[in-house]
Amino acid sequence: MTVQSKLPEAVRLPSDHPPIRNGRVGVLLMNLGTPEGTGYWPMRAYLKEFLSDRRVIETSRLVWWPILNLIILTKRPGPKGKDYASIWNKERNEGPLKTITRSQTEKLAERLTGFGEGRVVFDWAMRYGFPDVKSRLKALLDQGCDRILLVPLYPQYAAPTSATACDQAFRALMQMRWQPSVRVAPPYHDDPVYIAALAASMRASLAKLDFEPEVILCSFHGMPKEYLLKGDPYHCQCVKTWRLLREELGLPQERFRLTFQSRFGPDEWLQPYTDETVKALAQGGTKSLAIVAPGFSADCLETLEELDVENREIFMHNGGERFAYLPCLNDSDEGIRVLDAVVRRELMGWV
């Protein structure tokens, strides 16, 4: 006897009704993205998708399109490809951001085994590149997820990161006849679990060094100052993370400094700039320096190459002697503990 035949006649599905899978809850972790290879064409495709996003570049298309297509997409794929090649996961043939995000998802799923009586399904996607958001949303729906929690992996909210990841998910939802119920996890820049995890990770990394840094830079990804003036809360949330982390570590402000990295183009970006601060410290007599990047949930090009390679060279070439980059939370126990806390809180009422 089938399950259907046991049901009262009023609630039985017609014999020709299409199969329906429901009753499960999906959790989709979303990060920025990575190219599919380090050669010219994979890099060009990735940069084109990334830099065509109106959330990332708000300049008028009349001005931006010629610059992007005639200059940037001609000149930058080669050098950027070499940068990616220096940090590439050759075993998996992928960028480290993809490797780490996959591992974060797998470890989070393992940690939450049985949570919600086994009804919770975990997946991950990239805003730019693959696996893409649309296909992973469909995969969750195909597994019977009629409720989905979107988790942008950005502790601090910004329109060019958190918002554009959600935009991509919403675009996919617009094409669905039967949409799932959706929640978006908020930024967790001041979450006590996040701050405690950062402090614990930093203490462990510092304990492994054979020197004590005179100064530690707390470096966040930058953005044009204009975005702040338009109302983006990113700068304020970065400052709060830095302050709370400094208090948790018990460090004076002159020893734990806030900076912003990765500026691009001629416009003024959030200051102080990381590279200029590194150079000034070295030239001013600072001999030992460490950098941590709490705004990144996983190590990527901006941390492994820009901070640990480029800024190391700046420091050493200007009189510095000892330099260390302190890794992101990544898929460490501390990092998974943060994601666990965010997901459990945001799934309340669903499971």
User: Residues marked as binding for Fe(2+)?
Assistant: 221, 302
Count CA atoms closer than 13 A to 131's CA, side-chain side.
15
How far is Cα 161 from Cα 81, in angstroms, rounded to an integer?
Answer: 22
Residues at the binding site are: 221, 302
How far is Cα 315 from Cα 299, in angstroms, rounded to an integer?
Answer: 21
How far is Cα 232 from Cα 242, in angstroms, rounded to an integer?
Answer: 18
How far is Cα 125 from Cα 205, in angstroms, rounded to an integer?
Answer: 29
Q: Mention every residue, 6+ apart, whose C-beta is less than 8 A from residue 3.
A: none
Q: 71-80 — which CB contacts under 8 Å span 24+ positions?
A: 72/47, 73/44, 73/47, 73/48, 76/43, 76/47, 77/40, 77/41, 77/43, 77/44, 77/47, 78/40, 78/43, 80/43, 80/47
Q: Which residue is listed with tokens 């997409």? A: 73
How far is Cα 41 from Cα 45, in angstroms, rounded to an integer?
Answer: 6
How far is Cα 60 from Cα 211, in angstroms, rounded to an integer?
Answer: 49
